[in-house]
């Protein structure tokens, strides 16, 4: 009788860390129950007890905190702090996320060049060479001398719908699903692996249990369809900032949330009958980092840039006369708020046009107190968006407003509430826009698509085929958030300075800004 041997492999992975090395909430300066520093402690502990451990990152690594914003603005000639941390953790591979392109290809390439680990990137193609631009399509890891593990890396190909064209020039984003369909059988045949992992910076377009469609099938998220491909054992996902585990078509799936709040842990048990290794069992769990002490070595290595960041954040940049604080984010969206009007003024000043679009980016935004610091600016505007002026027809404006109006619905008591689809499976409050320079009413009692009323510009009705110049951020201008009516519209002007810079410049010009409200829109139900 053949002797049976078992080998256990642990896979630890992060996704959507978004610059959170330090266990700090930059908006409040309080300690946070998250961070790459805490994850590093976990990795060290598990490696000390386990013989076979793989550690991966699934993308959206180098953007997202004031520390990284400060690094890009003032210290980009130095090593990237996120890469230094991942090098210290000694991860086995990384995947490119969509936010890796936010600062341009030069910053991304520098990060990759500084990495002592490989980046795996099957579907981001260099147009000149027709080959993967940022690393091999997959890597092979050998554990216990003979167990072969294949890791394929892919990224949501929807990036051109969000990112500045300048930041992705010369790149082709091949369909992630098609790429995996082609690559899995190739890897199975050529490498004969005992385990195939797909690390996908993307999420799920269907509920993983009911299989019901949960979002428009644009191709942004293809996790469910990827699981229909034969030959995949494990699908690591991200992008949606969800925490989940499950199985689809016997593919073990997992997503560990965002901002270093948690990590994914996968345990695979291999059985060897004497002739070959087989996967005997595979389990996945999402592990919170709240009770884990941060790694002192990571803290020490990041101390200088962290202190510089805190000093930068505490700088006063301007002053507010009146009240620009946000107590209730829902009310700030349903009724004109002075903070929103301020952002619109910044955009109109920078662009020279008198119609502007913006949103309240998340429910943690607190607006501005009487003294505004850089901490306040980056806490309220956390994305490195630039501005674009588009030439739109009246019908485009109407379509965009109807899209925004879908953010609301009527509750059982007849009151206006947030449409649950904007809160689950992923928070999408940033996809509700407010406009300046035009007047309009949203009537939530009307059917979706027929809610926008009294749409005027300079007291005249906005006509379907008339043309208007509108300023909005580059994410929205490229159709981000499924605002397809903005795609491929004539670009009048691009303002290649991000929102933080523009807000600071506005305060430099107008040191004291008065909190004002122009009642140009209303949301009602009648």
Please write the tens of the pLDDT for every residue from 382-400: 787 889 999 999 999 999 9
**Residue 262: pLDDT over 90:** yes
Per-residue model confidence (pLDDT) at position 28: 82
Q: What is the pLDDT of residue 387?
A: 92
Section 300-318 average pLDDT: 96
What is the rounded distance in angstroms from the CA atom of residue 70 to the CA atom of residue 21? 14
* Residue of higher predicted confidence among 300 and 414: 300
Q: Residue 27's pLDDT band (boundaries 50, 70, 90)?
A: confident
CA–CA separation, 173 and 154 (whole Å): 10
pLDDT attached to residue 496 = 77
The whole-number pLDDT of residue 386 equals 87
Mean pLDDT of all residues in 18-25: 95
What does the pLDDT read at residue 399?
Answer: 98
Q: What is the DSSP letter of 447?
A: P
What pLDDT was estimated at residue 2?
44
Per residue in 494-504, pLDDT (tens digit) is 887 889 889 99
pLDDT tens figures, 316-371: 999 999 999 999 999 999 999 999 999 999 999 999 999 999 999 889 899 999 99
The pTM of this model reads 0.85
pLDDT of 1 > 50? The answer is no
Whether the CA torsion 205, 207, 211, 215 is positive or negative: it is negative
Report the mean per-residue pLDDT for the chain.
Answer: 95
pLDDT score at 4: 57
Assess whether pLDDT exceeds 60 at residue 133. yes
Give the separation between CA 479 and CA 327, rounded to whole angstroms. Answer: 30
Q: What is the pLDDT of residue 165?
A: 86
Q: Tell me the per-residue pLDDT of 447-478, one tens digit each, with 9 for 90 and over.
A: 999 999 999 999 999 999 999 999 999 999 98
- pLDDT per position as a tens digit, 399-421: 999 999 999 999 988 899 999 99
SS3 270: strand
How would residue 426 be classed by pLDDT, with cut points 50, 70 and 90? confident
Residue 102 scores a pLDDT above 50: yes
Beta bridge partners of residue 436, listed in sequence order: 356
The answer for residues whose C-beta is within 8 angstroms of residue 256's C-beta and 6 or more apart is: 13, 14, 15, 238, 243, 262, 263, 264, 286
Sorting pLDDT into bands at 50, 70 and 90, what band is 169? very high
The predicted structure's pLDDT at residue 348: 97
């Amino acid at each position: 009788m053949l002797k049976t041997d078992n080998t256990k492999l642990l896979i630890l992975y992060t996704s959507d860390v978004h610059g959170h090395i330090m266990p700090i909430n930059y908006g409040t300066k309080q300690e946070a129950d998250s961070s790459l520093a805490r994850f590093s402690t976990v990795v060290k502990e598990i490696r000390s007890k386990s013989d076979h451990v793989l550690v991966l990152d699934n993308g959206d690594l180098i953007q997202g905190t004031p520390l990284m914003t400060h690094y890009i603005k003032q210290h980009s000639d130095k090593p990237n702090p996120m890469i230094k941390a991942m090098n210290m953790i000694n991860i086995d591979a990384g995947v490119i996320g969509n936010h890796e392109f936010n600062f341009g290809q030069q910053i991304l390439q520098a990060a990759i060049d500084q990495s002592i680990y490989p980046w795996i990137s099957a579907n981001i193609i260099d147009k000149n060479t027709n080959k993967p631009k940022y690393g091999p399509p997959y890597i092979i890891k050998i554990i216990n001398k003979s167990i072969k593990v294949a890791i394929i890396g892919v990224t949501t190909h929807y990036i051109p719908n969000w990112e500045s064209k300048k930041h992705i020039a010369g790149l082709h984003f091949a369909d992630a699903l098609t790429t995996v369909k082609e690559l899995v059988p190739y890897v199975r045949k050529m490498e004969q692996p005992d385990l195939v992992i797909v690390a996908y910076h993307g999420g799920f377009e269907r509920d993983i249990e009911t299989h019901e469609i949960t979002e428009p099938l644009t191709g942004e998220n293809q996790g469910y369809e990827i699981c229909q491909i034969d030959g995949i054992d494990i699908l690591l996902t991200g992008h949606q900032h969800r925490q989940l585990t499950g199985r689809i078509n016997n593919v073990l799936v997992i997503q560990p949330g965002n901002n270093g709040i948690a990590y994914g842990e996968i345990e695979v048990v291999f059985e060897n009958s004497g002739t070959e290794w087989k996967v005997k069992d595979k389990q996945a769990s999402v592990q919170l980092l709240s009770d884990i002490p941060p790694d002192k070595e990571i803290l020490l290595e990041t101390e200088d840039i962290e202190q510089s960041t805190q000093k930068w954040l505490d700088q006063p940049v301007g002053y507010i006369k009146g009240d620009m604080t946000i107590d209730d984010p829902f009310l700030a969206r349903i009724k004109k708020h002075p903070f929103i009007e301020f952002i619109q003024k910044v955009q109109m000043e920078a662009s020279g046009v008198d119609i502007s679009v913006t949103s309240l980016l998340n429910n943690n935004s607190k607006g501005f107190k009487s003294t505004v610091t850089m901490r306040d600016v980056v806490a309220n505007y956390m994305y490195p968006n630039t501005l674009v002026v588009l030439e739109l027809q009246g019908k485009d404006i109407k379509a965009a407003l109807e899209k925004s109006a879908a953010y609301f619905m009527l509750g059982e008591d007849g009151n206006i509430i947030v449409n649950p689809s904007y809160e689950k499976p992923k928070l999408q409050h940033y996809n509700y826009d407010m406009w300046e320079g035009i007047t309009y009413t949203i009537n939530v009692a009307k059917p979706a698509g027929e809610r926008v009323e009294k749409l005027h510009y300079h007291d005249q009705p906005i006509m379907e085929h008339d043309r208007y110049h509108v300023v909005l951020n580059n994410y929205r201008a490229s159709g981000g958030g499924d605002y397809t009516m903005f795609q491929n519209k004539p670009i009048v002007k691009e303002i290649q300075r991000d929102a933080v810079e523009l807000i600071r410049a506005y305060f430099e010009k107008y040191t004291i800004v008065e909190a004002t409200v122009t009642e140009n829109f209303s949301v009602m139900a009648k």
